[in-house]
Amino acid sequence: MKIRLISTLIAALLFSLPMFSLPNTVAADPASVFTSLKGLAGEWEATDEKGNPAITTLKLVSGGSAIMEEMPHESMVTMYHMDNDRLLMTHYCSAMNQPRMQAESSPDGKTIVFNFIDGTNIDKASVGHMQKMTLTIQDKDHFSEKWIFSGGGKEQAKTIEYTRKQ
């Protein structure tokens, strides 16, 4: 009888532990993440791989329903917008294609991972295109983007650290 009672108590304890030790992995609401992205509107400065200053501008367009990120130093534009309950981005790339990616965010909404879902001018898997982008908001004056370019069976990563231009 004692063994059965002890076994039951141990089993109950083991089954209850994961409930207390698992982190909250529920992603932030896409609409609230989009709202936080709107807070990035303005001019941002970074340094390119050659040490040259690179200016990027994020601005609200289309009545605030989209955010346009202009990267003149790269001759590219990225548009962020809601699609019902999804946060999407379309990257108008200098590789002459337009990958579309869907956001997944961390519970606090500060790290947003955009994963490739489809794109135009990408007719086969071997065509080089942006596959993934991770945007991390450190604070109101700093954010970073890590871009993953996929093509020819290889991936290349590029991270850009931005500071709000004062």
Q: The CATH number of the domain where 82 resides is what?
A: 2.40.128.20
Per-residue pLDDT 10s for the chain (166 aa) are 555 544 443 444 334 434 333 344 566 889 999 999 999 999 999 987 778 888 999 999 999 999 999 999 889 999 999 999 999 999 999 999 999 999 998 888 789 999 999 999 997 767 899 999 999 999 999 999 999 999 888 999 999 999 999 8
Could you tell me if residue 158 is inside a domain? yes
Residue-number span of the structural domain to which 155 is assigned: 26-164
Please report whether residue 5 resides in a domain.
no
DSSP 28: P
Do 93 and 71 meet the contact criterion of CB atoms below 8 Å apart?
no
| Assessment of whether the complete model's pTM goes beyond 0.75 | yes
Of 91, 37, 43, 93, whose CA–CA distance to 65 is shortest? 37
HSE-CB at 62 with a 13 A cutoff on CA atoms is: 8
* Rounded-to-10 torsion of CA 109, 113, 115, 121: 100
Domain presence at residue 90: yes
Handedness of CA 41, 45, 48, 53 (dihedral sign): positive
**Count of domains forming the chain:** 1
- 11: in domain: no
Residue 9 lies in a domain: no
- The answer to whether residue 16 sits within a structural domain is no
99 assigned to some structural domain:
yes
| In-domain check, residue 103 | yes
